[in-house]
Amino acid sequence: MAVPMLQHSATFSWLISLTSFFIISTAFLSFKSNSATALSPSNDADRDALLALKERVVEDPYGALNSWNESLHFCNWEGVSCSQRHVNRVVALDLGGQQLNQLHGTIPADIGQTLPNLLGLYLGCNNFTGPMPLSFPNASGLVQLDLSGNSFSGTLPLNLGSLKGVLDISLGHNPFEPQDLRFLTSLNNCSSLKALDVGNSNLRGGSPSSISNLSSTLQILIAGQNQISGAIPSGIGNLINLSFLALQGNSIEGEIPTSIAKLTMLQTLWLSGNRISGSIPSSIGNMTQLGQLYLDSNYLNGSLPRSLGNCQNLQLLILSQNFLSGVIPKEIARLPSISISFNLDHNSFTGPLPVDLQLEDVNYDNNNANSSTRNFISEECLVAAMSIGIACSLESPHDRMNMKNVVAELHAIREKIISVKISRTHHIRS
Ligand SMILES: *[C@@H]1O[C@H](CO)[C@@H](O)[C@H](O)[C@H]1NC(C)=O
Ligand SMILES: *[C@@H]1O[C@H](CO)[C@@H](O)[C@H](O)[C@H]1NC(C)=O
Ligand SMILES: *[C@@H]1O[C@H](CO)[C@@H](O)[C@H](O)[C@H]1NC(C)=O
Ligand SMILES: *[C@@H]1O[C@H](CO)[C@@H](O)[C@H](O)[C@H]1NC(C)=O
Ligand SMILES: *[C@@H]1O[C@H](CO)[C@@H](O)[C@H](O)[C@H]1NC(C)=O
Ligand SMILES: *[C@@H]1O[C@H](CO)[C@@H](O)[C@H](O)[C@H]1NC(C)=O
Ligand SMILES: *[C@@H]1O[C@H](CO)[C@@H](O)[C@H](O)[C@H]1NC(C)=O
Ligand SMILES: *[C@@H]1O[C@H](CO)[C@@H](O)[C@H](O)[C@H]1NC(C)=O
Ligand SMILES: *[C@@H]1O[C@H](CO)[C@@H](O)[C@H](O)[C@H]1NC(C)=O
């Protein structure tokens, strides 16, 4: 099976396993649209704010905003949810691109002031341009902000840290100007943060030690596809609730800290395509929830720790393109769960594969052979599928079709993980 296909199928299996795992913990906050018959003229402020947004949308090829007209109360406009308690106050705005890149335009700089009751703003996967507004803190109750997968420019706003109750910030996959990691530090006071996506957003420099000061409530951290340098801080072990950590495609160097093993909830560790050296710490065996381990395309050496055999949930082990040596421990071959993929190629392992290893997708090519092809391209597909927002930037229509489903799926998973959902009026057109 060709590598890209294999990795795609691995991705979908990951989605399925993660979905079923998290199906348990759901306490949805739900704010239903109210049908607000009595419209007091003094309460039109939010309608005006929505119209100001509509005015700035210059392209709407799928008519997402067609219902935003005088014949309907604005609380019934597509994507708009109003509060049940505060009549005519907009609490959620969901214009996330179901059709990729449907809306093109800018968003009003004062949107946080003009919609002060917003709890959720979802504008991901469109083509909004211009700088990111600095007024979000004025909507002080904001818990979910998704602006990922657009064409925002300028720099990441450094004032989101004053949103004390924010749970989910997704700003990844935007062509921001290069900037250092101060954005991460600026979120240190967000003591409830559960998900942060700043993948592919032009963060650069080091050291990423500010990661350790993020809230220990964090469950999802996506910062892949940037130019982050320096070593993974040993303080990463503070983030004890992390279940998904993606730092792939950066310039991270140094060794994997032993303290990473404190992340006992971690299900996915994705460090592919960095400059990480040294050996894989044997403490990795303490991460018993680990299902997907991507360490490929680094400079890891030494042998595989036997303790990996303790990771009884491991389904996917991608170690290709490193300098790993020694024999494959039989403990790993006996893992009950390695059912998806096991990729060891382009390393220096010796000896035959353990006889116990009965897998369809084992890749053990090019060991004891030096090859200069560092196969990071196929990784992109995987990066794409797993990181929310990138679907918007895929070129081929075929990929777009698939990615659209993946993005919808990721949305659902993320909501389950962070246990929050603010009445999303899904309007899927086919
Ligand atoms: C206003 O929106 C409603 C609901 O989508 C639609 O049926 C109607 O045609 C729209 N009216 C105009 C003038 O666009
Ligand atoms: C976004 O809009 C700009 C301006 O129209 C256009 O040049 C660009 O190609 C669009 N981006 C995407 C991803 O569609
Ligand atoms: C918006 O926030 C800024 C900065 O905190 C503050 O000075 C301003 O008064 C706020 N505006 C409103 C309308 O709340
Ligand atoms: C975090 O809160 C502390 C105390 O309230 C304050 O001194 C500090 O400036 C805040 N840091 C950030 C990055 O907002
Ligand atoms: C993390 O926080 C501690 C104390 O709150 C501070 O001393 C340290 O400088 C911070 N580190 C980073 C990288 O922000
Ligand atoms: C970790 O998550 C669990 C449930 O998901 C929660 O009960 C616990 O308080 C969290 N711990 C921290 C430090 O956030
Ligand atoms: C790993 O688990 C062992 C045994 O429970 C414990 O002694 C060790 O401190 C753990 N290591 C880390 C880094 O958590
Ligand atoms: C791994 O590489 C480092 C240098 O980067 C070297 O010091 C160390 O001895 C190597 N370890 C093994 C087991 O080859
Ligand atoms: C492959 O490795 C051998 C020594 O192990 C070395 O002499 C040779 O130059 C290497 N070839 C390439 C293409 O790196």
Domains along the sequence of the chain with CATH: 3-273+376-418 (3.80.10.10)
Q: Confidence band (pLDDT; 50, 70, 90) for 38? A: very low
**Residue 370 C-alpha to ligand 9 middle, in angstroms?**
6
Q: Single out the residue of 149, 112, 146, 104 nearest to residue 129, CA to CA.
A: 104
Burial 133-162 (b: 16+ CB within 10 A, else e): bebbbbbeebbbbbbbbbbbeebbbeebbe
Q: Which residue has the tokens 């014949």?
A: 71
216 lines ligand 6 (CB under 6 A): yes
Q: Is 302 in the pocket of ligand 8 (CB under 6 A)?
A: yes
Residue 289 has pLDDT above 90, yes or no: yes
Mean pLDDT computed over every residue of the chain = 77
Nearest residue (CA) to ligand 4, atom 12: 186
| pLDDT given for residue 41 in this prediction | 40
Compute the distance from residue 204 Cα to the ligand 8 centre, in Å.
27
Is the Cβ atom of 185 under 6 angstroms away from ligand 5?
A: yes
pLDDT confidence bin for 317, thresholds 50/70/90: confident
Q: Residue 43: which pLDDT band, with cuts at 50, 70 and 90?
A: low
Give the whole-angstrom CA distance, residue 20 versus residue 18.
5
Angle of helix 377-386 relative to helix 397-418, nearest 10 degrees, comes to 50
Does residue 217's CB lie within 6 angstroms of at least one atom of ligand 6? yes
Which atom of ligand 6 is closest in space to residue 419's alpha carbon? 5
Sheet holding 104-105, edge to edge: 57-59, 104-105, 127-131, 151-153
pLDDT at residue 174 tops 90: yes
pLDDT(136) > 80: yes
213 Cβ closer than 6 Å to some ligand 5 atom: yes
**3-state SS track over the chain:** CCHHHHHHHHHHHHHHHHHHHHCCCCCCCCCCCCCCCCCCHHHCHHHHHHHHHHHHEEECCCCCCCCCCCCCCHHHCCCEEECCCCCCCEEEEECCCCCCCCCEECCCCCHHHHCCCCCEEECCCCEEEEECCCCHHHCCCCCEEECCCCEEECCCCCCHHHCCCCCEEECCCCCCCCECCHHHHCCCCCCCCCEEECCCCCEEECCHHHHHHCCCCCCEEECCCCEEEEECCHHHHHCCCCCEEECCCCEEECECCHHHHHCCCCCEEECCCCCCEECCCHHHHHCCCCCEEECCCCEEEEECCHHHHHCCCCCEEECCCCEEEECCCHHHHCCCCCCCEEECCCCEECCCCCCCCCCCCEECCCCCCCCCCCCCHHHHHHHHHHCCCHHHHCCCHHHHHHHHHHHHHHHHHHHHHHCCCCCCCCCCCC
Residue 366: its pLDDT value, please?
Answer: 62
| C-beta 117 within 6 A of ligand 3 | no
User: Is residue 368 lining ligand 9, measured as CB closer than 6 Å?
Assistant: no
Q: Closest Cα to atom 1, ligand 5: which residue?
A: 213
Q: Is 258 in the pocket of ligand 7 (CB under 6 A)?
A: yes
Q: Express each pLDDT in 225-272 by its tens digit.
A: 999 999 999 999 999 999 999 999 999 999 999 999 999 999 999 999
pLDDT at 344 over 50: yes
Confidence of residue 140 (pLDDT cuts 50, 70, 90): very high
Q: Each residue of 185-200: pLDDT tens digit?
A: 999 999 999 999 999 9
In this prediction, residue 86 carries a pLDDT of: 82
Tell me how far apart the alpha carbons of residues 367 and 347 are, in angstroms, rounded to a whole number.
5
Ligand 7 pocket residue status of 261, Cβ below 6 Å: yes
Q: Is the pLDDT of residue 13 over 50?
A: no
Whether 13 lines ligand 5, by a CB cut-off of 6 Å, is no
What spatial distance separates the first Cα and last Cα of the chain, rounded to whole Å? Answer: 32
Of 13-22, 99-108, 173-182, 388-397, the range with the highest mean pLDDT is 173-182
Structural tokens at position 161 = 């840290």
What's residue 361's pLDDT?
57
Give residue 315's identity as a one-letter amino acid code. Answer: Q
Could you tell me the distance, in angstroms and rounded to a whole number, from the CA of residue 66 to the centre of ligand 1? 6
When mean pLDDT is compared across 12-16, 142-146, 188-192, 242-246, the lowest value belongs to 12-16
Task: Look up the pTM and report it.
Answer: 0.81
Residue closest via CA to ligand 6's atom 12 equals 217
- What CA–CA distance (Å, rounded) separates 369 from 346? 7
* Ligand 4 pocket mutation pick from 189, 190, 192, 210 by most atoms within 8 angstroms of CB: 189
Q: What is the pLDDT of residue 407?
A: 44
Ligand 4 nearest-atom number relative to CA 188: 13
Q: Any idea what the Cα angle at residue 14 is, between residues 21 and 216, rounded to 5°?
A: 60
Name the residue at shortest CA distance from atom 7 of ligand 8: 278
User: How many whole angstroms separate alpha carbon 186 and alpha carbon 343?
Assistant: 38
- Taking CA atoms only, the protein residue closest to ligand 4 atom 10 is 189
State the Cα angle at 335 between 332 and 341, rounded to 5°: 80
